[in-house]
Amino acid sequence: EPEVTQTPSHQVTQMGQEVILRCVPISNHLYFYWYRQILGQKVEFLVSFYNNEISEKSEIFDDQFSVERPDGSNFTLKIRSTKLEDSAMYFCASSQQGVTNNSPLHFGNGTRLTVT
Amino acid sequence: AQKVTQAQTEISVVEKEDVTLDCVYETRDTTYYLFWYKQPPSGELVFLIRRNSFDEQNEISGRYSWNFQKSTSSFNFTITASQVVDSAVYFCALSERGDTDKLIFGTGTRLQVFP
C-alpha cells in the first residue's frame, strides 16, 4: 500500500538555525498537510496546501514557517530560525481529494525535531 | 467552534479485559467527519476509522468497535479482549465540511494493557 514518507526520522538542530523537513506524499494525492505534536500533547494542525498554495494555516504557522512543493513530488516544511519551543514531532499528511470531500488522510511516520 | 474532548487521560487494564475510550465532540456543522487514530510507542499515527455524520451505524472490525451517537455527540471506541499490543495513545479527531480542511484532535487517551 502506498505511504507518506518523511525524512529524516530525527533531526537535531541548534536554536536559530534553519531546518527543512521533507515529505513525499502519496503520488496521486492533491492535498498536503503538516501537523505537529509537542511531546506528550495532542496533534495540532499547522497548514494545508493545495494547487501550489496554502489553503489554510493555524496561528502556530507564523512567519518563521513556510511550505513548498518544489518538484512535484516533495513537500517541505521550513522553519527559518528555530526556537526551543519548536521541538516536536512533525507529521506530514496527504489526501487525494481533501478531508472535506470524505477522502482519507494518510500520515507519515513523523520527523522528531529537537532544538537545543 | 469545533472541539474534541477525550476526558480519560489514561486507562490501565489487564489483558483480555474490554475497554471503552470515550470521545465527545462539538460542532455547528451538520456534515462532519470523525476519526480515530492509534499512536503506538514508536510514534506514528495509525488510521483506525473514519465516519461521516450521516452514518450512525455502529461499526465492528475484529476486536474493535465504534459507537457513534449524534444525540450525545459521542463517538466511543471499544476494544474487546484487549491485548498488550493495544497499548498506545488513542486520538479521536473531527473535521467539519466547509471552508476548513483540517482535523481537530482530542488530547488523547493513553491505554496501558498489562499481561
Q: Select the more confidently predicted residue: A72 or B88.
A: B88
Q: Under a CB-based contact definition with an 8 Å cutoff, are residues B94 and B101 in contact?
A: no
Q: Is residue B65 a contact partner of residue B53, using CB atoms and an 8 Å limit? A: no
Closest Cβ opposite residue B33 in set A55, A99, A112: A99
pLDDT, position B2: 84
Q: Residues with Cβ < 8 Å from B112, sequence gap 6 or more? A: B10, B11, B12, B13, B87
The answer to whether A13 and A112 have CB atoms below 8 angstroms apart is no
> Confidence band (pLDDT; 50, 70, 90) for A71?
confident
**For B108, which of A42, A56, A110 is closest by C-beta distance?**
A42
Task: Give the strand pairing for A5-7 and A19-24.
Answer: antiparallel
* pLDDT (0 to 100) of residue A105: 87
Amino acid at site B22: D
pLDDT value at position A4?
A: 94
Can you tell me the distance from the alpha carbon of B25 to that of B92, in angstroms, rounded to the nearest whole number?
9
Number of Cβ within 10 Å of residue A59's Cβ equals: 7
Per-residue pLDDT of chain B (115 residues; tens, 9 = 90+): 789 999 999 999 999 999 999 999 999 888 899 999 999 998 889 989 989 898 888 888 999 999 999 999 999 999 999 999 999 999 999 998 766 678 999 999 999 999 9
Q: What is the pLDDT of residues A37-64, one digit of tens each?
A: 999 899 999 999 998 999 999 999 999 9
* Chain B contact for A11 (CB, 8 A cutoff): no
The C-alpha atoms of residue B78 and residue A56 are separated, in whole angstroms, by 33
Contact A12, A114 (CB under 8 A): yes
What value does the mean pLDDT of chain A take? 93
**pLDDT in the model for residue B38:** 95
Gap from A18 CA to chain B (nearest CA, Å): 24
CA-atom Rg of chain B in angstroms: 14
Which of these, B50, B18, B68, B43, lies nearest to A90 by C-alpha position?
Answer: B43
Task: Examine the pLDDT at A101 and tell me if it is beyond 80.
Answer: no
Q: Is B29 exposed, middle or buried (0-12, 13-18, 19+ CB in 10 A)?
A: middle
Query: Is the separation of the CB atoms in A16 and A115 below 8 Å?
Result: no
User: Chain A partners of B33 at a C-beta cutoff of 8 Å?
Assistant: 99-100, 102
The number of C-alpha atoms within 13 Å of B47 and in the hemisphere containing its C-beta is 17
Q: What is the pLDDT of residue B1?
A: 74
- Cβ burial of B8 (10 Å; 0-12, 13-18, 19+) is middle
